[in-house]
Structure 1
Amino acid sequence: MRRSPWATLAVLALAQFIVVLDVTIVNVALPDIQADLNFSTDSLQWVINAYTLLFGGFLLLGGRMADLLGARRVFVGGLILFGITSLVAGLANSPEFLIGARAVQGLGGALLSPAALAILTMTFAHGRERNIAMGVWGGLAGLGGTLGVVAGGVLVDSLSWQWVFFVNVPIVIALIALIPVFVPDVRHHVGVRTFDTLGALLGTAGLMSIVYGVVRSEPSGWGSAEVIGVLTAGVLMMVAFVFVERRSAAPLVPMRLFRSRALSVSGASLSLNGAAFLSMFFLTAIYLQQVRGDSALEAGVHFLPMGGAAIVGAVLASQLVQRIGTRTVQLAGAVLSVGALLWLSQADATGSYATQLLPGLILFGFGIIGVGVPGQITAVSEVRPAEAGAASGVVNAMYQVGGALGLAVVTTLSISHTTSELTQGATQQHAFEAGFERGLLVAALFSVANVILTLAAAPQLQPTADQLAEATAAA
Structure 2
Amino acid sequence: MSLNKQTTLPSQTPVYGWTIVVTSLAFVVAQLDVSIVNIALPQIADTYKVDINILQWIVDGYTLAFAVLMLSAGNLSDLFGAQRLFQIGMIIFGISSVACGLANSPFLLIAARVFQGVGAATMIPSSLAILNQTFADTPNKRAKAIGLWTAAGSAAIAAGPIVGGILIKLSNWRFIFFINAPICLAGILLTFFLKKQAKPTLVKKFDILGQVAWMLSITLLIAAVIEWSKLGFTHPLIYGSLLLGGISFIAFLIIENKVSHPMLPLSLFNSVSFNVLLGLGAVLNGFYYGTVFILSLYLQNILHYPPLTAGLAFLPLTAGFVISNLLSGNIINRYGLRTPILIGLTLFAFGFSGLFTASMHTSFWQLSIPFLLISLGMGLAVPAMTTGILSSVDKTLSGTASAALNTVRQAAGAIGVAVFGAIAANGGTAILHTITVSIIAAIVCTIVTIVLSQKYLKKGIW
TM normalised by structure 1 equals 0.85
Question: Could you say what secondary structure the match of 1:42 adopts?
Answer: helix
For the residues of structure 1 that align with 2:151 and 2:452, how far apart are their CA atoms?
Answer: 32
Q: Which residue, out of 160, 163, 171, partners 1:148?
A: 160
Distance of aligned partners of 1:460 and 1:67 in 2 relative to their CA distance in 1, 3 Å threshold: closer
Q: Which residue, out of 42, 47, 70, partners 1:31?
A: 42
Deviation at 1:398, TM superposition (A): 0.9
Distance of aligned partners of 1:287 and 1:64 in 2 relative to their CA distance in 1, 3 Å threshold: same
Q: Which residue, out of 284, 291, 297, partners 1:280?
A: 291
Distance of aligned partners of 1:373 and 1:412 in 2 relative to their CA distance in 1, 3 Å threshold: same
Contact 2:324/2:379 (<8 A) preserved: yes
Asked if residue 230 in structure 1 is aligned to residue 241 in structure 2, the reply is: yes
Asked if residue 42 in structure 1 is aligned to residue 39 in structure 2, the reply is: no
Asked if residue 448 in structure 1 is aligned to residue 418 in structure 2, the reply is: no
Deviation at 1:281, TM superposition (A): 0.7
Q: Which residue, out of 375, 387, 390, partners 1:365?
A: 375
Contact 1:338/1:444 (<8 A) preserved: no
For the residues of structure 2 that align with 1:460 and 1:63, how far apart are their CA atoms?
Answer: 25
Asked if residue 461 in structure 1 is aligned to residue 458 in structure 2, the reply is: yes
Deviation at 1:319, TM superposition (A): 5.9
Q: Deviations over 1:234-280 (max 9, x none)?
A: 11211111111111222121111212211112212221111110011
Contact 1:326/1:461 (<8 A) preserved: no
Asked if residue 162 in structure 1 is aligned to residue 174 in structure 2, the reply is: yes
- Amino acid corresponding to residue 447 of structure 2 in structure 1: V
Q: Which residue, out of 289, 292, 301, partners 2:300?
A: 289
Asked if residue 71 in structure 1 is aligned to residue 68 in structure 2, the reply is: no
Deviation at 1:168, TM superposition (A): 1.1
Deviation at 1:10, TM superposition (A): 2.9
Distance of aligned partners of 1:221 and 1:198 in 2 relative to their CA distance in 1, 3 Å threshold: same
For the residues of structure 1 that align with 2:211 and 2:418, how far apart are their CA atoms?
Answer: 21
Alignment of structure 1 residues 126-137 onto 2, 5 Å? 126-127=137-138, 130-137=142-149
Question: Could you say what secondary structure the match of 2:54 adopts?
Answer: coil
Deviation at 1:435, TM superposition (A): 2.2
Distance of aligned partners of 1:379 and 1:64 in 2 relative to their CA distance in 1, 3 Å threshold: closer
Corresponding residue number in structure 1 for 2:11: none
Q: Deviations over 1:368-393 (max 9, x none)?
A: 33543454455456545655554343
- Amino acid corresponding to residue 310 of structure 1 in structure 2: F
Deviation at 1:329, TM superposition (A): 5.0
For the residues of structure 1 that align with 2:249 and 2:24, how far apart are their CA atoms?
Answer: 34
Alignment of structure 1 residues 151-230 onto 2, 5 Å? 151-179=163-191, 181-183=192-194, 186-230=197-241
Corresponding residue number in structure 2 for 1:436: 432
Question: Could you say what secondary structure the match of 2:314 adopts?
Answer: helix
CA RMSD of superposed structures (Å): 2.7
Bigger CA drift: 305-314 or 437-446?
Answer: 437-446
Contact 2:70/2:121 (<8 A) preserved: yes
- Amino acid corresponding to residue 224 of structure 1 in structure 2: H
Gaps of 5+ in 2: 7-13
Contact 1:59/1:393 (<8 A) preserved: yes
Question: Could you say what secondary structure the match of 2:84 adopts?
Answer: helix
- Amino acid corresponding to residue 140 of structure 1 in structure 2: A
Q: Which residue, out of 7, 17, 21, partners 2:18?
A: 7
Deviation at 1:64, TM superposition (A): 1.9
- Amino acid corresponding to residue 86 of structure 1 in structure 2: S
Deviation at 1:213, TM superposition (A): 0.7
Corresponding residue number in structure 1 for 2:10: none
Contact 1:33/1:161 (<8 A) preserved: yes
Contact 1:67/1:188 (<8 A) preserved: no
- Amino acid corresponding to residue 95 of structure 2 in structure 1: I
For the residues of structure 2 that align with 1:389 and 1:165, how far apart are their CA atoms?
Answer: 27
- Amino acid corresponding to residue 461 of structure 1 in structure 2: K
Contact 2:296/2:310 (<8 A) preserved: yes
Corresponding residue number in structure 2 for 1:301: 312
- Amino acid corresponding to residue 19 of structure 1 in structure 2: A
Q: Which residue, out of 81, 85, 90, partners 2:96?
A: 85
Distance of aligned partners of 1:136 and 1:346 in 2 relative to their CA distance in 1, 3 Å threshold: closer
Corresponding residue number in structure 2 for 1:428: none
For the residues of structure 2 that align with 1:388 and 1:49, how far apart are their CA atoms?
Answer: 27
Q: Which residue, out of 405, 414, 418, partners 1:404?
A: 414
Q: Deviations over 1:89-129 (max 9, x none)?
A: 11112221111111111111111222233334444562165
Corresponding residue number in structure 1 for 2:129: 118
Question: Could you say what secondary structure the match of 1:25 adopts?
Answer: helix
Q: Which residue, out of 362, 378, 386, partners 1:351?
A: 362
Bigger CA drift: 385-394 or 142-151?
Answer: 385-394
Question: Could you say what secondary structure the match of 1:45 adopts?
Answer: helix
Corresponding residue number in structure 2 for 1:270: 281
Which structure exhibits the higher relative contact order, with contacts defined as CA atoms closer than 8 Å and separated by 6 or more residues?
2
